[in-house]
Structure 1
Amino acid sequence: MAAPSKIKGIKKARIGFYSAGLCTYWNQFEGLYDRLMGYNRFMEEKLSEFGEVFNFGMVDTEVKGREAGEYFNANNVDIVFSHAATYYTSACLLPIHQINKAPVIILNLQPTPEMNYAKVGTGDWLAYCVGCSIPEIANAFNRAQIPYRAVNGLLGLSKTPDIAVSDEVTCDRPEAIKAWKEIEEWCMAASVKRTLQHARFGFLGGYYSGMLDMYSDFTMLQAQTGIDVEVLEMCDLEKYLREVSPEDVQKKMQAVEDFFTISGDSPSDPIAKAPTKEQLEWSCKVAAAQEKMVIDRDLDSLSYYYHGQDGGYYEQIQSGFIVGHSLLTAAGVPCAGEGDIKTALAMKICDILGTGGSFCEIIAADFNRNTMILGHDGPFHFAISNGKPILRGMGVYHGKKGSGVSVEAKVLSGDVTTLGVTQTGEGRLKFVVSEGESTNDPILMNGNTSTHIRFPLNPAEYMDKWFVEAPTHHCALSVGHNEKLFRKVSELMGIQMATV
């Protein structure tokens, strides 16, 4: 099942890159500089798969270091990869990162797994002694209070250069594959940060009254993530609803038929019925209005909740929310209910990374299956659905006003990771992350999304550790084991992270 086309794309990272060496070597060893710049061009090509690359070239003097720092500032890079091409003095590199404040990742990637000891001379050896300067620059960065990370492994060439006397084909070596996966993850994390810095999050209506963990300061959110929060009212959405044409409704009805299964009555829950034609048409009309609002207001995400008077028109509008918000979530505009803008942030991070991000909370524990059941009565990210989600007509939205059409589904079986975004007593955002396995076990037929998750700990032990981290009661559920990826995002954004 193909997902809807994306309404909002992501902003790829602006990647700074340079190789580091020692200018004294170039006249001493013919061909060494050109050989190292060949490695540089290979790495630039690989990095270009992950973002827009700004390659300064070789930094081999303190003067070049200052020039490189200004070059990266001029190009507004999000992250800088420092390639140890051979030995270099740390004095060449320190000025770069004193001038440019983007996070720096040191690349210690050896071209060959083993030197040809019978043939390698000093010139060859200097192309391989790439780890020699890493302790030196690590010490200098530490004393200069410049944060740094390192990726260690093999370069990953698919062809040995003519000048080399050792075998440099390492593209299939695990040390190269792992290194380039780490590099890609750093670039993806930088893309998250850049995308959020340019993102607009809509906040429609208000918070669910009394859910104290939901409440957040919008200024705090912008200060720590860069997102702009646009406060919207139901009358804003109602304006777009008046603009919806019959053709718009028909288009959404086609999307519903393409992406959902229309249910019959639930065999177990008397309030979950087959949706009526009128309910489906209304949900499609509201979905068309939601999409118009998202496009017109240039929104990247939306959190929403409306609690009005019984029988009011706005209550009727919100009765059609879930279908449209599910379609928007799959189209790259994650939507979180109950006004939970922090979980909307978690969902957006997952979506930028291509890992889904469905709106969840604890439904129950299954102690016989050793699983936690996570889900919600709101929108679902059906791009990561185990089959077509089911639409059910709900006689009542439990705990909320009104009735309407809801989504019943579960996430694909296999590796999953939850990402919760909570707020500490000091007003700082915090990630709470757990890796587990989604299992294809029975779920309730009550119009809610739910998925069994087996974590490494049994349910009671897992909750013991989870609750200590003071999470919110919502989180985003992503596909894949993404703890290391989320940790890179947390480091680049300066957000604390706990793993349970």
Structure 2
Amino acid sequence: MSELQKLKETKKARIGFYSAGLHAYWDQFEGLYDCLMGYNRFICSRLQAWGEVYNFGMADTEEKGREAGEYFNRNNVDIIFSHSATYCTSACLLPIHQICRAPVIILNLQPAAEMSYETTGTDRWLAQCVGCPVPEISNAFNRAGITYRAVNGLLGLPETPDFAKADEVTCDRPEAVHAWTQIREWCQAAQVRHTLQNSRFGFLGGYYSGMLDMYSDLTMLQAQTGIHVEILEMSDLDAFLGSVTDEDIDLKLKQIEDFFQISGDSPSDPIAKKPTQDQLLWSARVAAAQEKMVLDRDLDSVSYYYHGHDDHFEEVQSGFIVGFSLLNAQGIACSGEGDIKTALAMKICDILGRGGSFCEIVAADFNRDTMILGHDGPFHFAISKGKPILRGMGVYHGKRGSGVSVEAKVRPGAVTTLGVTQTGDGRLKFNISEGEAIDAPILLNGNTSTHIRFSEKPVQYMDRWFAEAPTHHFALSTGHNAGLFSKVAELMDIPYSVF
């Protein structure tokens, strides 16, 4: 199975960075400034792997602080890393973050695991006392109403600078590895925030009537995430359907053949049959129209649902699942039943390269101590064990019409669910839980389903989950991502729970 190309590139985070010091030191201690700027360049080079870095250099006076704030504003940075390079007064830093309100992460990265106590003078000591000003900075930020976070550990240099007396090779130390993992995740979270602020989410059709947890205030969604919501009608898609050529259909049929396994009749479910050739051709035609609409409207996501009465648009929606699954693999998060909040969760997972498939509870397996999670909606190939199976559905259960659905299983290993719900006060909230996908029997009914084992048994897990007032849908991602998803929530000022 080859890999589908993304239809849109993910935005890079714009990372602000500076080192903090005290101007009075530079004339007093020869070589100290150059040493600290060497650390600055090292950190900058590492940050460049995760975004576009705007390095102000050294902020060592109140005047420099104001200059730095204006510099970061001009470059519209998404996040700022404040490197505590030596002792500095909080008055040097406070203006930066009063002028530029981007989220700030304080880097308390000590160059050496221990000082060379017998040979270290004041100059070398000043290159090591990086934790000294952090309490002062945090106090000043708190009193000024500036939210901050800190990353503590070792700098992680691969070699010792000439200026140093102690051994500063700490790249393999766990304190350095942990610190840089945190820094990378903060950069990735900033990338999510920046990408969403430049994203267009299509809302096609309407909500599944009566699913009250799906209903959302679209203005609220834009206000809290920065996404633009484009309202789409079935006639919009139908217009593109009319422009689909035979060549377009052939291309989609080849993609379907490449990415899916065509099933026979289900041995257990009489409504799940081998897809007919007409169903596959129709799914390919609709998939081509879906892609044309996404490209024409410059969409990053589509939430959809249509309830018809034996009309043409009902026939159109019968071909939705295959095309929207292909779009998921191309970086366009697609969610059924009009669930735009779960489309947001899926998009976050996809930006981070963790998949993000449309999911809900199927059942619990109390013998295996697993929750079975899945859905009949669009699947994300990035998390699939083997090729997903296409089954023809005589009935879309609970919905009007019929068509082709995706049956798949998530590959075994670490997974994380990300649910986006809305609270009674109109705020979004993330619900996050980590587990392990295991290889176990699933239903052969045209739905995705996978056994997930969480740290708690099913009853206790559901006790905690339902207490968070979730929606019944969520995104399923690969890997243990609770730390990463919680950082996204913090940068977006969205409450979250981890369970």
Task: Measure the CA separation in 2 of the matches of 1:25 and 1:158.
Answer: 26
Alignment of 1:200-279 (within 5 A): 200-279=200-279
Deviations 1:22-45 (A, max 9, x none): 111111111110110011011111
Task: Measure the CA separation in 1 of the matches of 2:295 and 2:371.
Answer: 37
Tell me the residue number matched to 2:182: 182
Asked if 1:431 is matched to 2:433, the reply is no
Deviations 1:124-152 (A, max 9, x none): 11111111111111111111111100000
Give the structure-2-normalised TM-score: 0.99
Alignment check: 8 A CA contact 2:390 2:406 kept: yes
Task: Measure the CA separation in 1 of the matches of 2:34 and 2:253.
Answer: 61
Task: Measure the CA separation in 1 of the matches of 2:457 and 2:163.
Answer: 57
Instruction: Tell me which amino acid in the other structure corresponds to 1:202.
Output: G
> Secondary structure of 1:447's match?
coil
Alignment check: 8 A CA contact 1:2 1:383 kept: no
Asked if 1:356 is matched to 2:366, the reply is no
Instruction: Tell me which amino acid in the other structure corresponds to 1:369.
Output: R
Q: CA deviation at 1:398?
A: 0.6
Task: Measure the CA separation in 2 of the matches of 1:18 and 1:230.
Answer: 38
Tell me the residue number matched to 1:446: 445
Asked if 1:3 is matched to 2:3, the reply is yes
Task: Measure the CA separation in 2 of the matches of 1:462 and 1:273.
Answer: 35
Instruction: Tell me which amino acid in the other structure corresponds to 1:93.
Output: L
Equivalent residue pairs, number: 499
Alignment of 1:83-482 (within 5 A): 83-310=83-310, 312-482=311-481
> Secondary structure of 2:247's match?
helix
Which structure 2 segments of 5+ residues have no match?
A: none
Alignment check: 8 A CA contact 1:3 1:383 kept: no
Tell me the residue number matched to 2:483: 484
Alignment check: 8 A CA contact 1:419 1:476 kept: yes
Task: Measure the CA separation in 2 of the matches of 1:250 and 1:307.
Answer: 29
Deviations 1:287-333 (A, max 9, x none): 000000000000000000000012x1111111110000000011100
Deviations 1:388-420 (A, max 9, x none): 100111111111111111100011111111010
Instruction: Tell me which amino acid in the other structure corresponds to 1:463.
Output: M
Instruction: Tell me which amino acid in the other structure corresponds to 1:317.
Output: V
Tell me the residue number matched to 2:45: 45
Task: Measure the CA separation in 2 of the matches of 1:204 and 1:433.
Answer: 27
Alignment check: 8 A CA contact 2:17 2:53 kept: yes
> Secondary structure of 2:431's match?
strand
Instruction: Tell me which amino acid in the other structure corresponds to 2:246.
Output: P
Task: Measure the CA separation in 2 of the matches of 1:285 and 1:90.
Answer: 62
Which structure 1 segments of 5+ residues have no match?
A: none
Alignment check: 8 A CA contact 2:2 2:258 kept: no
Task: Measure the CA separation in 1 of the matches of 2:135 and 2:394.
Answer: 66
> Secondary structure of 2:49's match?
coil
Task: Measure the CA separation in 2 of the matches of 1:400 and 1:265.
Answer: 21
Q: CA deviation at 1:165?
A: 1.7
Q: CA deviation at 1:159?
A: 1.2
State percent identity of aligned pairs: 74
> Secondary structure of 2:362's match?
strand
Task: Measure the CA separation in 2 of the matches of 1:159 and 1:460.
Answer: 52
Q: CA deviation at 1:120?
A: 1.4
Q: CA deviation at 1:217?
A: 0.8
Segments ≥4 residues shifted beyond 3 Å: none
Instruction: Tell me which amino acid in the other structure corresponds to 2:218.
Output: F
Q: CA deviation at 1:2?
A: 3.8
Q: CA deviation at 1:458?
A: 0.8
Query: Pairwise CA RMSD of aligned residues?
Result: 0.8
